Every structure is written in structure tokens, then in C-alpha cells.
Structure 1
């Protein structure tokens, strides 16, 4: 469990090495480095992976403030500087996708490639309330409001994660692990992340993305809808898009082999490897099958 002392923050991170080229992996809200554990365990040849915990998350230090996207981005930049990572591949999931956009858009010379996994869209999470298919209980607005009202409860988190990441129903180890991570998150981080996600807008950053970009999305994602991510793609010069079928908000946990294949091919050659349905070894739950059918009917 290595730690690194930044200017005003003690950061926990996990590191795996199978080569020299660095990858920095940023987790999302309620998360920790564990969201990248399957990828680090199968790290491709030639790379070394760094997965830090954001402040207030996992085993990193809890601070009284600094939970906005800009400060989180500065934390990661200091992290890279301390480790002497001059240029690196950057991967961000959900909230970490917003942090990755902020970091990449303000330090483009440091980025080899940028991969955004079900990211907070550049136009901001506040824009999602205007999208009609986000009116269900499992929209970000309703989830965050409800959790903010009653606090972090194990049963509710378990239910929410099962709906948001349907394939984790078949992986109880990781499901329990990420619930424990969410329960560990400090209330200051919880409130700070929700506040910054409502305010942050990164559309002005996209014009600075002069490196290859990959956006990943699961077609069962009930947290981040497709259209804002497609809007992003249209405003980025060199951007690829990959959709995981039958996958929710966290493809790196729900379908790790397929995720690893796509990410590795992109980092190695800036291309997208085709993923067949045979990559999915376990069937979807009845709930997920019904949701996918309804989504296709009303698309």
C-alpha cells in the first residue's frame, strides 16, 4: 500500500509494472483504486499502471476542502510530478473522467492518450436533467439527492450498484468490495463531489485535446446517457467511441477482459479492437435484459 506526500495531501495509490510506459487510472465517485484492480492484474506488456485514490476516498487523506474538479486535477498533476511521470496515458472513469478532462485540457503536453470511461460529460452533469430518459429513480439527480438525504447506507448502495452495473450481479467479490469503498468515503468528499459535479463544465477544454481520445460507454448505463458523450466526440479532433453491449456504468469491472482488450489496443496503436458477443461469458439478469429491450424499442 504505497503512499506519496504531495504539497498538502497524503495520497494512497497502487502500482503495477510490466514495462516503462506509464498509465494513470482515475476512479469515479464512491470509488477507489479497486475499480482498476482487474486491469492492473492483467497489465499489458510495456506498461506500468498507477491508480491513486482521490482525497477523501479509499486510503488517501481526508481534507477539510479541495473536493472540486480543478483541485482534484491539480492533485493528480502533483502526483505525476512527484513520480517523475513526464508523459503518460490518462484514463478516467465517471467523476474521474471529469478530472481527466480537466487535467488533459490544461496540460495537453503531458498526455499520450486520453481514455474516458462513462465519464461525466464535458457539458456537465447539470445538463443531464434536461435529457428525457434520465427521469427514472436511477438518474444521477435522484440518486444523489436520495443519498444526500438519508446518508450512505449499505443496502441502498448495494441496490444502486446492482442496477447501475448489472453484470456485477455475477461477481459478488467486486460488488461487495466497491460497496465497502463507498461506505469508507468521507462525508466531506461525498458532499464536495456532488457539489462540483453540479457546477463543473469542461466544454472549453475539448479544443485542447490534440492527442488521441477514446470514449467508452455501456449501453445499459443508467448514470451517464449516450448523447452528451456523442456530443463530445463531435467536438474532439481525434476521438474514437466504443460501446459495450449489455454493460452498465463500469465496463472495467463488468466486462474486464473486453475492456482490457479495447484499452490496450487503443494505447498501443490508437485503434479499436472489435468485441464480439462471445466475450460475454455470463448472461444478463432478467432485469438487465428487459431494460436493454425497452431501451432499443424506445430509442
Structure 2
């Protein structure tokens, strides 16, 4: 039986933000997906987390059913303000923020702003690219080509070219929803991976933080962990050794185990 309660929209930061709510009981947890992941693609994770938390999965602007179009801004600061306003509109007094990839970078910035009510953050394999840092390992054409093809229409078999290790179900869902990722929003986010120095905000994180590292992702290396912990010694680290960057897609059980008891519950 699904733990999805409903999908809804709120007006926040002068845009419409869509979200999916799962569970409805426990400590509120806001999940921010990555660069080309509409909220629904994280549904299988939200179903599990909803056994323990009141889960809200956000469609970042320019993705899914949230506002999109060339009249909007898609920079990091704007998207971070979306999250802060979103939480305020929902009336969440205390919450955890869990971000994957791009969403993890947003979580870092939210925490550095001493966001009201934010109690803990989980950073799932955040890109550590930026000025004076090596490039993000994925290439922009991978995103552009797949999105352009999805706009024309594509099926799970065609998606295999872009996501060869994914299951049929995973590829079907991505093929169905990828067209909702507005290409200029994706390009801006990708460019921000390289132009925004996310490291400058790490020392200002005051809430407990867990950095979850994909063993096969190539995004975070040992030297990156050392740098991050040198900037903020209160950041703890867990590893999912057999997973690539899309950790729960590659090793779902390992992903849940990597939370350990950081959020006060063992996810099994």
C-alpha cells in the first residue's frame, strides 16, 4: 500500500512549487532531488522514508510540475530561497533537509543561512566542483541530448543509451518525466556547479550534517572529504561503496543503511 498522501502546490518566492507528501507522521523531512530529477522519480525512496518521517519531496523550479519558463531565474540563490519560502509556507516549525547532488548543494546554502527550524541536513553525493576545484564528472551534453530527445518522445529502451545500468522501471519513469526538466534551468544548474563556490558556505553550517558518499560515483574523492571536514569538523561521513552517483538507484538498501542513526531512526 502506497504511503503517498497527495500532491499539492504552494506559492513561494513568487513561483508555484509542486510537492509530493508521503507518510504524514513523524518528524518532517524535506527531500530536494538533483538536477534532472522531478519529485516523482524519488517516490520509491520517499515511500521507505515515510515509514519513519513526514516526507515532502519538492519539484525544484524548472522541473516536474513546478513553475517553469524563460521568465524565471534558476540560479542557486533563487532556488535556495524557494526552499526556505516553501518550508515557511508549509508551516514546518522543525524539519530535516535531505538533498541529493544539486539538492545537496542547495541544502548547504540553506544551512549556511541559519535557516529557521532546520535541525539536520543530509548531503547525498554533492558536486564539489567550483572555482579552483576540478570539474563535475558528468558532461553537459549528456543532459542536453537526453532532454531534447525526451521532448520529442522517448521510451525506456531509448533511455538505456543514457542510463544503461538502470532497471526497466527506472528508465520508464525517467523517460516519462524528463521532458518536464526545462533545459535552460538545467544548463544554469550545471554551470553553477562550476561557477558557484559551495565550499565557502560549509564553515557556516551549524546544524548536524551527514555527508553520504558514493563509492563509485567519482564525484567525491578522499581529498574532497578531507577538505570538507577541514572546513567544518562537525560533518560526519558515511559511504555506499557499491553505488554510483544515483545512490539509491544502484544500492537502495546500502543507501538506507548509510543514514545509520543520524536522523534518530534506523531505516531498514
TM-score with structure 1 length normalisation?
Answer: 0.76
CA separation of 1:30/1:149 partners in 2, compared to 1, >3 Å: closer, same or farther? closer
Q: Which residue of 2 is the match for residue 68 of structure 1?
A: 75
Higher helix share: 1
Shift of 1:148: 4.4
Query: CA distance change for structure 1 residues 99 and 26 in 2, over 3 Å: closer, same or farther?
Result: same
CA offset at residue 185 of structure 1? 0.8
**TM-score calculated relative to the size of structure 2:** 0.84
Could you tell me which residue of structure 1 aligns to residue 231 of structure 2? Answer: 235
User: Which residue is equivalent to 1:3?
Assistant: 9
Alignment of 1:266 with 2:268, yes or no, is no
**1:54 is matched with which residue?**
60
Q: C-alpha separation between the residues in 2 aligned to 1:54 and 1:147?
A: 16
Q: Secondary structure at the match of 1:65?
A: coil
2:176 aligned partner: 180
Give runs of aligned pairs for residues 5-84 of structure 1, distance below 5 A: 5-43=11-49, 45-63=51-69, 64-84=71-91
| Equivalent position SS for 2:14 | coil
Whole-angstrom distance in 2 between the partners of 1:58 and 1:236: 34
Which stretches in structure 1 are left out of the alignment for 5+ residues?
A: 274-278, 280-299
Where 2:162 maps in the other structure, the secondary structure is helix
Partner of 1:225: 220
RMSD of aligned alpha carbons = 2.7
- Measure the CA separation in 2 of the matches of 1:6 and 1:86: 17
CA distance in 2 between counterparts of 1:257 and 1:182 reads 25
Q: Who is 1:282 aligned against? A: none
Count of aligned positions: 254
**Equivalence for 2:104:** 97
Deviations 1:41-72 (A, max 9, x none): 12355520110101110111104232111100
| 3-state DSSP of counterpart to 1:267 | coil
CA distance in 1, matches of 2:147, 2:26: 42
- Distance in 1 separating the partners of 2:146 and 2:250: 28
- 1:18–1:46 Cα contact (<8 Å) kept: no
- Determine helix, strand or coil for the equivalent of 2:73: coil
Q: Evaluate the alpha carbon distance shift between residue 75 and residue 150 of structure 1 in structure 2; reply closer, same or farther with a 3 A threshold.
A: closer
**Alpha-carbon distance change, 94 to 9 in structure 1, aligned in 2, over 3 angstroms:** same
